[in-house]
Structure 1
Amino acid sequence: MKVVDNHVEMSDEEASSAVKGHGVRYVLAISLILTILLMSAVWIIPALLDR
């Protein structure tokens, strides 16, 4: 963080107080795939058993 003229300038990392990682992307992708598989199983298994 540095003072320039009458205002403070800081980097994106300093402003968010965290390091932006790629972990969120993987969590979202995995949870989406698992949700699709689970919802498909809930729909397909009863359809196969009703025959």
Structure 2
Amino acid sequence: MMDKDGDNISVSEEEASNKTNPQGVRWVLGISLILALIAMTVVWIIPAVT
């Protein structure tokens, strides 16, 4: 919790680091990789079939 004492402001280490959840980042990267592969496959296969 942030505490203010005059001009001094103290915050906990967790608040100061502002870390993101690495598990959430992995999900976003994994899903975007799969979507990119699907999009590239569609762009490659559609013209080859026609």
Q: Distance in 2 between matches of 1:39 and 1:23?
A: 24
Structure 1: tracts of 5 or more residues without a match: 15-19
Residue correspondences, number = 49
Higher relative contact order (CA 8 A, sep 6+): 2
Structure 2: tracts of 5 or more residues without a match: none
| Aligned-residue identity in percent | 19
Query: In structure 2, the residue corresponding to 1:28 is in which secondary structure?
Result: helix
**Structure 1 segments of 4+ aligned residues over 3 angstroms from their partners:** 3-6
| TM-score, normalised with respect to structure 2 | 0.55
| TM-score, normalised with respect to structure 1 | 0.54
Provide the aligned C-alpha RMSD in A.
Answer: 3.2
Distance change (3 Å), C-alpha of 1:5 and 1:38? same
Find the counterpart in structure 2 of residue 33 from structure 1. 33
Instruction: Please report how far the alpha carbon of residue 11 of structure 1 lies from its aligned counterpart in structure 2 after TM superposition.
Output: 2.7
